[in-house]
Chains A and B, each alone.
Chain A
Amino acid sequence: MDFTFTDDQLLFCKSVQEFLQQEVTPAAVRKSWELDTGRSDERWQQLVNLGVTAMLVPEQFGGLGMNELDFVLLAQACGQVALPEPLVETALVATPLLATLAQRDSRCASLLEKIATGERKIAIGHAANNLVCDAHVADFLLLPSGNQIHLVPRDQVKLVAQASVDPSRRLFAVEWSANDETCLVSGPEGVALLAATLNRGALGAAAQLIGLAEAMVQMTVKYTSDRHQFGKPIGSNQALKHHMANCAVKIEFAKPTLYRAAYTVSKRPVHADFAVSHAKVAAGEAALLAAKNSIQSHGAMGYTWECDLHIFMKRAWALDKFWGHAGFHKSRLHQWLMNPNAKIGADKTFGEQVA
Chain B
Amino acid sequence: MDLNYTAEQIAFRKEVRSWLEQHVPARPLQSFDTKEGFEQHRQWEQTLAKGNWGMVTWPKEYGGRGCNLIEWLIFEEEYYRAQAPLRVNQNGIFLLGPTLMEYGTPEQKARFITKMASGEEMWAQGWSEPGAGSDMAAIRSKAIRDGDEYVINGQKVWSTRAVFADWVFCIFRTDPASDKHHGLSFIFVPLNAPGVTVRPIPQLNGLPGFAEIFFDDVRVPVANRLGNEGQGWNIAMSTAGFERGLMLRSPARFQETAKRLVALYREHRNDIVDLSIEDAVVKSFMDAEAYALATYQTASRLMSGGKIGPESSVNKIFWSELDQHMHETAMSILAARAELLPHSSAAGDVGTWLDGFLFAQSGPIYAGTNEIQRNIIAERMLGMPRK
> Which A residues fall within an 8 A CB radius of B?
1-6, 69, 217, 221, 224-225, 232-233, 235-236, 238, 240-242, 244-246, 248-249, 252-257, 259-260, 263-264, 267, 278, 281-282, 330, 333-334, 337-338, 340, 342, 344-347, 349-350, 353-355
Question: Which residues of B are found within 8 Å of A248, using beta-carbon distances?
Answer: 314, 377-378, 381-382
**A241 touching B296, Cβ below 8 Å:** no
Interface residues of chain B: helix, strand, loop or mixed (majority): helix
> Contacts A245-B378, A346-B80 known; A256 to B296 CB distance under 8 Å?
yes
Q: Which residue of chain A has its CB nearest to the CB of B374?
A: A245
Q: How far is the CB of A8 from chain B (nearest CB, A)?
A: 12
**Which one of A69, A242, A345 has the highest number of Cβ atoms from chain B below 10 Å of its Cβ?**
A345
A248-B381, A249-B377, A346-B80 known; 15 new pairs, CB 8 Å cut-off, are A3-B296, A4-B301, A238-B375, A241-B379, A242-B378, A248-B382, A253-B287, A256-B293, A257-B289, A278-B289, A345-B259, A347-B77, A350-B5, A353-B4, A355-B11
Q: How far is the CB of B244 from chain A (nearest CB, A)?
A: 13
Residues facing A in B1-43 (CB within 8 A) are: 1-7, 9-11, 13-14
Does B256 make an interface contact (CB < 8 A)?
yes
Q: Which residue of chain A has its CB nearest to the CB of B377?
A: A245
Q: How far is the CB of A152 from chain B (nearest CB, A)?
A: 37
> Contacts A217-B382, A345-B259, A346-B80 known; A236 to B292 CB distance under 8 Å?
no
Q: Which residue of chain B has its CB nearest to the CB of A241?
A: B378
Q: Which residue of chain B has its CB nearest to the CB of A238?
A: B375
A330 to B278 CA separation, bound complex (whole angstroms): 11
Interface residues of chain A: helix, strand, loop or mixed (majority): helix
Q: Which residue of chain B has its CB nearest to the CB of A232?
A: B387
Does B355 make an interface contact (CB < 8 A)?
no
Does B262 make an interface contact (CB < 8 A)?
yes
Number of A-B contacts (CB under 8 A): 174
Q: How far is the CB of A71 from chain B (nearest CB, A)?
A: 13
Question: Which residues of A are found within 8 Å of B5, using beta-carbon distances?
Answer: 1, 350, 353
**A346 touching B77, Cβ below 8 Å:** yes
**A281 touching B259, Cβ below 8 Å:** no
Question: Which residues of B are found within 8 Å of A355, using beta-carbon distances?
Answer: 7, 10-11, 14
Question: Which residues of A are found within 8 Å of B11, using beta-carbon distances?
Answer: 355
**A3 touching B297, Cβ below 8 Å:** yes
**A225 touching B385, Cβ below 8 Å:** yes
**B275-319 near A? 1/0 per residue, CB < 8 Å:** 000110110011101111110110111011000000100100110
Q: How far is the CB of B311 from chain A (nearest CB, A)?
A: 6
Q: How far is the CB of A256 from chain B (nearest CB, A)?
A: 4
Does B243 make an interface contact (CB < 8 A)?
no
**A2 touching B382, Cβ below 8 Å:** no
A261 to B3 CA separation, bound complex (whole angstroms): 11
Question: Which residues of B are found within 8 Å of A238, using beta-carbon distances?
Answer: 371, 374-375
**A257 touching B297, Cβ below 8 Å:** no
Q: Of A342, A347, A350, which one neighbours B3 at CB under 8 angstroms?
A: A350
A221 to B381 CA separation, bound complex (whole angstroms): 11
Q: Of B1, B14, B255, B317, which one neighbours A2 at CB under 8 angstroms?
A: B1
**A344 touching B70, Cβ below 8 Å:** no
